[in-house]
Amino acid sequence: MPPAAMKRFHPWAAVLTTLSAVAMAAATTGAAASLNASAVAAACPGVFARGAVLTRVADATFGEGPLDFPEAHATLFTDWAHWAPTPPKVFLYERDSGAVRLWMRNASVNGMARMPNGDVALAPRANRSVGVMANPGVAAKAVVTVATAYQGRRLNAPNDLVVDDGGGIFFTDPTWGVEEVDRELDFKGVYYLPPGGGNDDLQLIATQTWPNGLGLLPDGRLLVANEQEPLGWYLYTRQAGAASGWTRALITVPPLRPLLAHRGELAPAADRRGNDGMHVDASGDGVTVYATGYGGLYVMQPADGAGRWPVQCVLPPPPSVTTLTNVVTGACGGSTAGGGCAPAAPRRCVYVTAEDGLYKIPLA
Q: How far apart are CA 337 and CA 325, in angstroms?
A: 24
> Would you give the distance in Å from CA 247 to the centre of its chain?
24
Q: What pLDDT shows up at residue 49? A: 94
In 3D, which of 320, 311, 307 has the Cα closest to residue 293? 311
Mean of pLDDT values over 160-171? 96
Q: How far is CA 289 from the centre of its chain?
A: 12
φ, ψ dihedrals at 199, nearest 5°: -55, -40
Q: How far apart are CA 4 and CA 153, in angstroms?
A: 27
For residue range 7-48, list pLDDT tens digits in order: 333 222 222 222 222 233 333 444 457 899 999 999 999 999
pLDDT interval class at 332 (50, 70, 90): very high
Mean pLDDT score of the chain: 83
Domain ranges of the chain: 3-362
Contact yes or no for 332/256 (Cβ under 8 A): no
Q: Domain 3-362: which CATH class? A: mainly beta
pLDDT at position 341 over 70:
no
Q: What is the pLDDT of residues 225-276, one digit of tens each?
A: 987 667 889 999 988 766 668 999 988 888 888 888 878 888 887 778 788 9
Q: Going by C-beta distance under 8 Å and a sequence separation of 6 or more, which residues neighbour residue 305? A: none
Within a 10 A sphere around the Cβ of 175, how many other Cβ atoms?
Answer: 20
CA 231 – CA 260 distance, rounded (Å): 13
Statement: residue 299 has pLDDT above 90: yes
pLDDT of residue 228: 66
Task: Give Rg (Cα) of the chain.
Answer: 19
Q: Is the pLDDT of residue 335 over 70?
A: no
DSSP-derived 3-state class of residue 315: strand
- Report the predicted TM-score, pTM, of the whole model to 2 decimal places: 0.87
Summarised one tens digit per residue, pLDDT across range 180-225 is 999 999 999 999 999 999 999 999 999 998 899 999 999 899 999 9
CA distance readout (Å), 83 to 7, 9, 14, 317 = 9, 4, 14, 22
Q: How confident is the model at residue 345 (pLDDT cuts 50, 70, 90)?
A: low
